[in-house]
Amino acid sequence: MMLLMRIILLVTAAIAASAQPYSLLLKGGHVIDPKNGRSAKLDVAIQNGRIAKVAADIPADTASRVTRVDGLYVTPGLIDIHVHVYTGTGVKALTGDSSVYPDSFSFRSGVTTMVDAGSAGWRNFDDFRQRIIDRAQTRVLAFVNIVGNGMSPAGEDTPSEMQGDQAAAIARKHKDVVVGFKTAHYAGEGWPSVDGALAAGRATNLPVMVDFGYLSLDRTLRTLLGDKLRSGDIYTDCYSGHRGELGEDGKTNPAMEVGRKRGVIFDVGHGGGSFYWNVAEPLTRQGFWPDSISTDLHTGSMNAGMKDMTNVMSKFLNLGASLDDVIKMSTWNPTREIKRVDLGHLDEGAVADITVLRVEQGAFGFIDSAGATFPGAKKLTAEITIRDGIVRWDLNGRAATDWKSYKYQKRAPVTVPTPRRKKQ
């Protein structure tokens, strides 16, 4: 009789398991999925690390774990396409101490994918890959710096180090993680850094990201955006004002409009010195919004005005962008810019990279790169971050089990051996 009861219980358990095809169900939230034009109250089911279903009122008994996210926003995992994470080398530069470990800053701000913006060049990219990319829980992709040693103490002004063929070769070798090429901080004459990066981009059909560096009589914003960059290339730090993005008359520099019409992408790249309210506010008021939101994360920005991805997103929310547009600028748009359209959406079958956001209402202050504050009534906070179907960040334990019903493992008592006394 006991054997029969055990068989019945096992069969019942098997039937119950077969009726629960989903490992996790996010229930009751407002889904914003820009690729698919979804912005509505929908449930999201996950199984085997993939999006299994997005629909209204998915039955709770079809999932082994149900997480209520009522009043919150469920989005694709956030994608930050301008960070610096090549750290741990011992070098005092962005190829070392000035970069940060990705997992320390990604999930807690809702980011599931980070794109390093040229910290490593074609000479040291192999080291960057084994040291950081292959060890991180965060998905780390990268732009290869056109300068051989990247953002090293040697600087980025030596034309002989700007070799497009070498950068292209590295991109082919690491094609699963390289998404383009970067030129930054150039303070010399002419266009060797931009031309070298463009040569690598043409050879591999990948985009170039440009931090323009310094202007001169022949190095102008109009030439860069109107003649040099191609459709799909990325102009980052677009609200810095350092290159005349906003004219002295308070109007958008016509070169910016020329670039946009040609298909040049405009990225935020906030950083420690590339976002100012007296540039961003008039530009956005005149309708010049970014295509993508990014942080330019490094040790000089993480504790200053930038802080993290959700803080930068909140700034544009308070400048007047809709939440749907802010999410688009932080998910689907950047994936298209880096040609990784397998990410940034909630298609059924797609990798389950998901962010659950809370929009706080109140009186907040947001600081720019000069230390000036801008008032805001809305602030985004990452409640849950899921990468490959695994909950990596859970601010308030929404996806966790109540401790009273949690099945704790028995722990062996910790004992300290009594030290032996020395014989007298």
Q: Over its length of 424 residues, how does the chain's per-residue pLDDT go in tens digits?
A: 555 555 555 544 444 445 579 999 999 999 999 999 999 999 999 999 999 999 999 999 999 999 999 999 999 999 999 999 999 999 999 999 999 999 999 999 999 999 999 999 999 999 999 999 999 999 999 999 999 999 999 999 999 999 999 999 999 999 999 999 999 999 999 999 999 999 999 999 999 999 998 888 889 999 999 999 999 999 999 999 999 999 999 999 999 999 999 999 999 999 999 999 999 999 999 999 999 999 999 999 999 999 999 999 999 999 999 999 999 999 999 999 999 999 999 999 999 999 999 999 999 999 999 999 999 999 999 999 999 999 999 999 999 999 999 999 988 888 877 777 666 5
d(CA 245, CA 243): 6
At how many degrees (to 10) do helices 309-319 and 277-285 cross?
50
d(CA 276, CA 294): 14
d(CA 157, CA 151): 10
Q: Residues 305, 275: contact at Cβ < 8 Å?
A: yes
| CA distances for 378 relative to 21, 143, 313, 322, 366, angstroms | 37, 33, 10, 11, 10
Q: Residues 279, 241: contact at Cβ < 8 Å?
A: yes
Global pTM reads 0.93
Q: Give the per-residue pLDDT at 392.
A: 98
State the pairing for strand pair 66-68/178-184. unpaired
d(CA 148, CA 197): 12
Q: CATH number of the domain at 77-350+359-377, please? A: 3.20.20.140
State the pairing for strand pair 390-394/373-387. antiparallel
d(CA 40, CA 31): 6
Kindly list the domain boundaries of the chain, sorted by start residue: 77-350+359-377
Q: What is the DSSP letter of 60?
A: G
Q: Give the per-residue pLDDT at 7.
A: 54
